[in-house]
Structure 1
Amino acid sequence: MTAPVVTGTHVLTGTHGTIAAREWSPPVPRSLALVVHGYGEHSGRYGELAGVLAGHGAAVYAPDHRGHGRSAGERVVIEDFEDVVTDLHAVAELAGAAHPGLPLVVIGHSMGGLIAARYAQRHGAGLAALVLSGPVIGDWRLPARLLAYDEIPDVAVSPAALSRDPAVGAAYAADPLVWHGPMKRPTLRAFERTLATVAGHGGVGALPLLWLHGDDDRLVPLPGSRPGVERLGGGAHTERIYPGARHEVFHETNRADVFADLTHFLDGALAP
């Protein structure tokens, strides 16, 4: 049974303007979780995941990245992901000040997986575990393909690519906080630089790492992510690959299994 959850919002001063963050907290949290959303979306799409985590004892904090959701900045423009990592660390410090002494887990989806991986490289000493869902890491070729055009094609993310649940795609398509336009050149260049940075800065040592991925993910294909995850985890990571699942495993038709795998992993990672 899910514990009672208190939701709240925070506004922080980020590296390039204000950062809005959501909070979902149980009455007496035993851990902290940072949920790191993907490209073009926002943290409000992760209420169900946050409810599962809060029911498992975590105080959950989830920022909207610069240029996303309710945070400041030109829509979907990220010129340097290092600044996004710095903003995420500010949210971690906010959570730690509110709930001192609790272990911290970072859970990153898609672009958020790239941010979370870089966060673990920069701040891994303060983490208890890292979870990557459909992560943009390793060999992701979309930025290079789009940057080859003189003008970036006006092609938005297909809602049908997210999940086999048609309600997920319909809600995404109707969400005014989701970006439905083309990708932007500065962000694509930042993706290329940060993919190279993460690849060049080695693994995360003994930090427990869980990789979740759908084997029908056409936005961030599984074979491209694998070398990045294996490099980051040093071959010691835990992985769960879901047959038939698309990009957003936390919103998939089998998400109950995904949530069970996640909480089981966290039980082991957070054990005394």
Structure 2
Amino acid sequence: MGEDWRPDVLGGGFEQKTLPLGEDAEGPIVATLVRYRPGPRLRLRAGAAQGADVLYVHGWNDYFFNPELARFWADAGARFHALDLRKYGRSLRPGQTPGFIADLSDYDADIEAALEEIGHGQGAAPARPLILLGHSTGGLTLSLWAARHHGRAAALVLNSPWLEFQTSRIGREALAPMISLGARVNPLGPLPNVDLGFYARSIDRAQGGEWEYNHEWRMDRGFPTHAAWLAAILKGQAAIAAGVDVGSPVLALVSARSTIQTRWSEAMRTSDIVLVVDDIAERALDLGPSVTVDRIDGALHDIFLSRKAARAAAYAAITRWLTGYRPRA
């Protein structure tokens, strides 16, 4: 059985609950659900997400640490929850390989446990619409989940989703056979570390960014990567490229530009230095018949960690989209 709700590391209004998921070769595995419960407030009019439930899933080398994002959704009228997947953040246990997964569909158990907790379990007929919110690898994971579970989500909001590999479709297709072979021979075989620490420099308050976070849960130069994990990513991206239907309208937020290079530049504080945003914007159109792409000037890879003006533009884009769409259960 899972634990009761208890105070979260984010402080006032935030609580967390451990969701047991069984065991693997590294021992017991859990996911952790975080919820935001603001105090009573006077509402003069309904928000753009009034009556909705939001479930957020983070990206690679990441966990949920953004209280401003939770407050935005609460102000919009939604109940906000965030999920730290197995072996990430609050869910990482001693002796586990951080972030490791061999098939992205294994996260179905994490997502289902969270949805059951917030009233959207399998077979339920919830009165509240469900909005899925995913960043980077979390955006890829939720897109694939939604495509396999039509009708469960009323809307999908993606924050720089990792829908295509950085070397484009041609590079991904050339790389996939070699990585798949390596994954079969040695699933935990290490891959070269290509994270030079620039992304951490762009967001860490101590290095000129605006955010404080746990540097063990979000490492400055990224988690070590492994063959089976990358094979799972490439497989998921290939499925998106083949065309899927997530079963709901999609809003994909991406930065206006990418700056991918091996030397630090101040432009990295106002652009995506992880993904090629043109490729992501194009690939997002493969998610279904109703996709909106909004490009945010000055945004980082995690748009909601950008400077204030870019964050405000992103929140405004979500509000416009929700106001026009009005997701329903």
Bin for the TM-score computed over the shorter chain: 0.7 to 0.9
Aligned to 2:107: 84
Superposition deviation, residue 219 in structure 1: 0.7
Structure 1 position 239, deviation (Å): 1.6
The match for 1:250 is: 304
Given candidates 128, 139, 154, the residue that maps to 2:193 is: 154
Q: Identity over aligned residues, as a percent?
A: 27
Shift of 1:169: 7.0
2:205 equivalent to 1:171 = no
The 1:176–1:164 alpha-carbon spacing in structure 2 relative to 1, beyond 3 Å, is closer
Work out which of the residue numbers 247, 267, 272 in structure 1 matches 2:323.
267
Cα distance in 2 for partners of 1:271, 1:105 equals: 8
Offset at 1:147? 4.8
User: Secondary structure of 2:85's partner?
Assistant: coil
1:23 aligned residue = 35
Q: Is 2:81 the counterpart of 1:61?
A: yes
* Partner residue, 1:13: 20
Indicate the structure (1 or 2) with the bigger Cα radius of gyration: 2
> For the Cα contact (< 8 Å) 2:139–2:158, is it kept in 1?
yes
1:107-256 residue pairs with structure 2 within 5 A?
107-141=133-167, 144=175, 147=179, 152-156=191-195, 158-159=198-199, 167-168=208-209, 171=212, 175-179=215-219, 180-200=222-242, 202-205=244-247, 207-214=248-255, 215-216=257-258, 217-234=272-289, 236-253=290-307, 254-256=310-312
Q: Deviations over 1:68-124 (max 9, x none)?
A: 112144212111110113311221121116995211000111001101101210223
**Are the aligned partners of 1:11 and 1:18 in contact in 2 as well (CA < 8 Å)?**
yes
With the length of structure 1 as denominator, give the TM-score of the two structures: 0.84
Q: TM-score, normalised by structure 2?
A: 0.70
**In structure 2, do the counterparts of structure 1 residues 25 and 119 end up closer, same or farther at CA, with 3 Å as the change threshold?**
farther
Distance, in Å, in 2 between the alignment partners of 1:171 and 1:184 is 28
| Structure 1 counterpart of 2:138, one-letter code | G
Partners of 1:224 and 1:199 in 2: how far apart?
11
Note closer, same or farther for the CA distance 1:114–1:147 as it changes in structure 2 (3 Å cut).
same
Aligned-partner SS, 2:71: helix
Once superposed, which parts of structure 1, at least 4 consecutive aligned residues long, lie more than 6 Å away? none
CA apart distance, 1:14 = 2.3
C-alpha change, 1:162 and 1:229, in structure 2 (3 Å) is farther
For structure 2, list consecutive stretches of 5 or more residues without a partner in the other structure: 1-11, 24-28, 41-49, 183-188, 259-271
CA 1:193–1:62: 2 relative to 1, 3 Å: same
Root mean square deviation of aligned Cα = 3.1
Residue type of the partner of 1:177?
Answer: W
SS at match of 2:36: strand
Supply the AA of the counterpart residue of 2:34: R
Count of matched residue positions in the alignment of Structure 1 and Structure 2 = 264
User: Contact conserved, 2:201 with 2:208, CA < 8 A, in 1?
Assistant: no
Three-state SS of the structure 1 residue aligned to 2:282 is: helix
The secondary structure found in structure 2 opposite 1:126 is: coil
Higher helix content, 1 or 2: 1
Which whole-Å CA distance do the structure 2 matches of 1:22 and 1:167 have between them?
Answer: 28
